[in-house]
Chains A and B, each alone.
Chain A
Amino acid sequence: MSTGFRIVRWFEHCAPRAGMSLILVFCGAAALSAAAPPEPTPAELAKAEQLREDQRLMIELARDRVFPALVNIHVITMNYWGGKEHKGRAVGSGTIVSKEGYVVTNQHVTNNGKKFKCTMADKQEITADLVGEDPLTDLAVLKLNLSELKDPGAPLAVAHFGSSDELEIGDHVLAMGSPFALSRSVTLGIVSNTERVFAGGMAGDDPEEMQLEQGQRTGLFTRWIQHDALINPGNSGGPLVNLKGEIIGINELGGSAMGFAIPSNLAQTVVAALIDHKEVPRSSIGISLKPIEKTGLKNGVLVNSVDSDGPAAKAGMQAGDVILKLGGDALTVRFPEEVPPLLKRIADFPIGASVPLTLDRNGQLIDTQITTEKLQKDRGEESAFRGWGLTALQITDRIMREHRLTSTAGALVSGVRPGGGAQLAEPPLADGDVIKSIDGQPIKDLAAFIKCYDEIMERKPLPKYLLIGFERSGKDQVTLLKPKPDEDEDPPREVSKAWIGIATQPVLKDLAEKLGAPDTLGFRITRVYPGTRASESGLRVGDIVFAVNGDKTAPKGMQDAGLLTRKVQKLDIDSPVTLSILRDGQKQEISVSLERSRLRPEEARRDRNRDFELTVREITFFDRDDNRWDDDVQGVLVDQLEPAGWAGLGGLRVGDLIQKVQGEAITDLDSYREVMKRLTESQPERVVVVVLRGARTHFQYIEPEWKPVVDESKVKEGSKE
C-alpha cells in the first residue's frame, strides 16, 4: 500500500471523530503564535534588510542580462488530420542569442509553423524565418527580420549561454517567458534535479520512446533540469536563467509546479549546428539500448533491438548482444539516466566513421567495426491533396520500418477526407496505404506525388478517373480515383412561393381584449417592408389581419404564429388577395397583389477564397432590412472565417460588409470575385479591406501567405530508395 493511499484511508477513518479536535489544535497554535511574536534585534533587522537588498539586486542583475532579449513567438501552423489541412495558432517564448537576430526556442513551438512573428521587449512586432529545427532535442532556431525594426541599426539585446554542467541541485533559477501568451514574465525557483529522464512514465519503457508529436521521437540526448520556477503553456522555448544572468536551460515541459528545461550545454551545440547547417548532422548505428539494471549483468549496455537494414545489422550485431566497449572505451549503462549521454556519444561520431566495438554474445567476446550512417528524421513532411481528398507523408526510414515496408518509395496516406475522392474510390484508399504509382507513373517520394498531382489538376478537363497503384499490408492493389476541383457549390434554393411583404405577430384572445377588439383574433402587422407590393397597398403597422380572401385566420396560440404565412403560401404568385383587417376599431378590406418570396440569407450565393481563408455571400433583401441599408449600400457579407486564417488574423469578422478591397469598390459578388482574382495574380504583400461594421467603417489589413504550402526542396530531403 502506498503512503498516499494510507493517508487517504486514515482521513476517511478518523476524520469524523478527530476533525473537531484537529481544528481546535490549529486554532490554539495560531492563538499562541499571535500572543508571543519574537522581537528581532536591530542587528538582525539590518542583516535581513541587507540580505533582501542583495537578493533583489542579484535577481535584478540576472533578469536584466536576459529579459531584454526575451521574445514572444506567435506561430501560424498548418496541421493535417481528417484528410485535409487545418490552420492553427501557437504561441511560445524564445531568446535572442546573437546580434544577427537568431532566436532559440522549442521545436514544438515552431512545429508545422508557416509564419512566425516575434514581439520584442519594446513591444515591436516583427516577422521571423525558420532557420532549422531539431525534433530529437525539441530545439529550433528562428532568425528575426531585423530590417522591420523601427531602428534596424540599433544594437540588439542578446543573452548568452552559461554552462549547465555547473548547475547543482538547490541552485536558484529564473524562468522567463510568456505564460498563456501573456506578456513577458519572470518566476523564481530552485533546481530540483539535474539529470531527469522520463523512462517508465509518459515516455514509455525507454527514454528513446518519448514523443511530443506522433511518430517523432524526442529527448533522446536530454537529461532535463527539473526546477520549480513556475512555468505554464506559453513558457515553452523560454530561457531558464541562473543568478549570473546566463541561460542554463531552455524550458520545454512543465506541470504541477514542476518545470523541465533542456540543459544549455546541449542546447548551445544544437543551436550552433542549426545556424551553420540548418540541421544537426548526427550519426546512427541503428540500434536501441536498454540499461542493464534488471538484467543481472555487471558491465556494458544491452542491445534492445537492431534495425534490420541499419549499420549495426550490417556489422552483424544482434538484439540481446551486450556492448562492452565503444570506440575503444569501456562502458556501463546501469540506469535510464545513463542512456542519453551514450546516445549522444554515438550521435557525435562523424557520419560514415568506422567505430570499433566489443560485444558480449552469450559469454563470447566479439570485436567488430561498425560504419555509422546519417541519423534521419523520424517523421517526414506532410501535404494535403485537396482535389483527391487525402493527406500524405514522406516515408522516412523509421516510417518504413514501423510500417514494415520494403523501401521508402512512395507516399504514405496519413488521412482521408470523408466524402472525398480517395474515400469514394473503389476500393477506397485508407490511412497507412502507400501510393506507389499514378496512371502508371511511379511515385518515388512525396515531392514526386505533389508534382504529379499539380500536373494532373492543371489539366482541362480533368481526367475522369486515375489509376492509383498502392500498397496495403504488403499487397499491391489498384483503385480508380476521380479527381475533382475543390470548389464549393452554392447552397440550394427554396421553391418560390407567394408572399406578402409584411411581418406579423399573432393576436391571441387576451391581447385582442386589451387592444379593444376581443372578437378579432388575427395577425397584427409589425412591419411593412418598403418597396414591396404590400407597401403600395396601403397596409399599415398596427393593422390586424383576421381573414384572407374571406377565410378567417385566427391563431389559437403561439404555435399558430406561421398560420397567415402558410395560408398565403398556398395561393399563386402574382395573384390578388383580399385581406380583412381591423384598423382603429374599424373593419375594412385591402387588396394586395402577392409576390414571389424573397431569398433568405442561408440561400444566398457564396464565394470561398482559399488564399484569404474567407467565405462571403451576397446581400439579401432581409439583410438590407435588418441593417436598414438602402440600395446605395453595396458589398458582400463575411459569412465564414477559417480558424487562424489570414482574413481572420487581419481583423475581419463574420457579419462585416466588405465595401472596398485594395481601393476597388465591391458592388456585388461578381465584382468581388473579379477583384480577388486580380489580387491572386498580383499577390501584394498587404491587402487593405474596408468593411462596414455596424454603423462604422473599419480599415483592416490582411497579409495573406501566397507561398505554396509545402516546400518541395524540403520534402526531398531524407528520401531513400
Chain B
Amino acid sequence: MCTQNDCSVVPCGRRRPRGATVQILLLAILSVVARSRIGVAAEGGDVASDYEQLATAKADALVTVKFVLKLKMGGMMGGDQESNTEITGIMIEPKGLVLCSNTQLGGIPPMFRRIASRMGGDASATPTDIKVLVGDDSEGVEAKLLARDTDLDLAWIQIKDPKTYKHVDITPKTSKPKVGQRVLYLTRMGKFFDRVVTIDEGRIGGLTSKPRELYVGGDSGSGVPVFMPNGDFLGVTITQTPDEEDSDEGPMAMFGALTGRGPGLILPASEIAKATERAKANPSGAEEAGDAKAKKGTAK
C-alpha cells in the first residue's frame, strides 16, 4: 500500500485505474490530502489509505443525477424558466434507488414558498427528464422521482429499467459520533472535470436534537454522503430551514433563516433508513388514495 508521501503512484495491490478519469481522480485526491495534512498529523492515521479505500469502495455508487428543472414563478416574480442541472446522488439499493438532496432537486422549503407567496409570487419547481449517470456513463439511464421529503431534505429517484448497481449500504452501523470525530465526505466534481470522485475531510463539530437529530459537520453543501474513516456510512448532509410556522414574517426572514443554522448538517443514517422505507412504501401518487379518503370527511 502506498504511503502518504508517494500517493502519486498507483496503489499497490488494487485494480489498476483506467484512463484520464482515474488520473484526475488521483490528482483530486492528492489535492485533498495536501489540504488535510494538519489533521493527519494530529490523528496519526494513514489518511491516504482511508481515502483510497473509500474512493475505491464507494465511487461506483456515487452517481450523477441529470435533469431539467422547470421553475414556475407566477405573480409579481413573473415568468417560467427551465434549466439543465446536474447533482450528485447516492445509489442506496442495487435495483437502482438513488438518494439525493431535495433542495438540490428543486425542492422549495415551505418557508421560502410562503415568503415568495407573500411577495406576490407563486413558486414551484418540478424536475423533469431525470437521468442517472453511473460511473463514466455520459448518456444516462431514465429515472423518475419516487418520493421527496421536504422536512428531511431528501429525495429518492428510481431508475426505470433497473439492473444491478453497486450501492452504498445505508444500514446504520455506527453509534452516534462524538464531537471531534473525523469524517470523510465523498463528492463528484462537475462534468467539465469528468465528474471525478473527490474526498474531503471534516470533523463533527456538534450534535443537536432540534429540529431533529443532526450532526454538525463541515460546510459541504447538501446531498453529500458522509462516512466514518473505516468506510461505514454515517449520514448525508442536508439543508434545514425553520419550519413554516417557526419562521418570522416578511421577506427578510429568508435571510434570517440562514443565520444560526450552523455549518453543514448531517442527517444520521438511522433517520435516512427509516425515511427510505417510508418513501418506498408511499411513493409519489400513493397519497391520492389517502386524499380521496380524506375527501369524504371534509369541513362543512
Contacts and interface: CB of A to CB of B under 8 A. Distances in A.
**Are A and B associated in one complex?**
yes
A625 B299 contact: yes
A492 B285 CA distance: 8
A654 B149 CA distance: 28
B113 interface: yes
B36 interface: no
Given A561-B246, A640-B72, A496 B81 contact: no
Interface string A632-643: 000000011000
B82 A419 contact: yes
Contacts of A494: 147-150, 287
B41 interface: no
B242 interface: yes
Interface in B244-290: 244-246, 275, 278-279, 282, 284-288, 290
B83 interface: yes
B300 A630 contact: yes
Contacts of B149: 494-495
B150 A418 contact: no
A561 B298 contact: no
Interface string B50-88: 000000000000000000111010100000011110000
A566 B147 contact: no
A289 to B, nearest CB: 43
A492 B246 contact: no
A630 B299 contact: yes
B82 A496 contact: no
Interface string A509-544: 000000000000000000001111001000000000
A494 B107 CA distance: 10
A492 B155 CA distance: 10
B243 A561 contact: yes
A621 B126 contact: no
Contacts, number: 134
B68 A419 contact: yes
A562 B148 contact: no
B126 A558 contact: no
Main secondary structure of the interface of B (DSSP, over half): mixed
Given A419-B69, A529-B299, A599 B287 contact: yes
Main secondary structure of the interface of A (DSSP, over half): loop
B82 A640 contact: no
A488 B69 CA distance: 12
A19 B60 CA distance: 80
B151 interface: yes
A569 interface: yes
A640 B73 CA distance: 10
Contacts of B107: 492
A618 B25 CA distance: 49
A492 B148 contact: yes
Contacts of B145: 492
A621 B299 CA distance: 8
B44 interface: no
A501 to B, nearest CB: 9
B212 to A, nearest CB: 7
B211 A566 contact: yes
B31 to A, nearest CB: 30
Contacts of B217: none
B171 interface: no
A216 interface: no
A493 B124 contact: no
Contact of A496 (B84, B126, B282): B282
Contacts of A639: 122
12 contacts: A493-B148, A493-B285, A494-B287, A495-B278, A532-B294, A559-B246, A599-B290, A603-B287, A621-B298, A624-B298, A628-B300, A631-B298
Given A419-B83, A531-B299, A625-B299, 5 more contacts: A419-B70, A424-B84, A496-B290, A597-B287, A624-B299
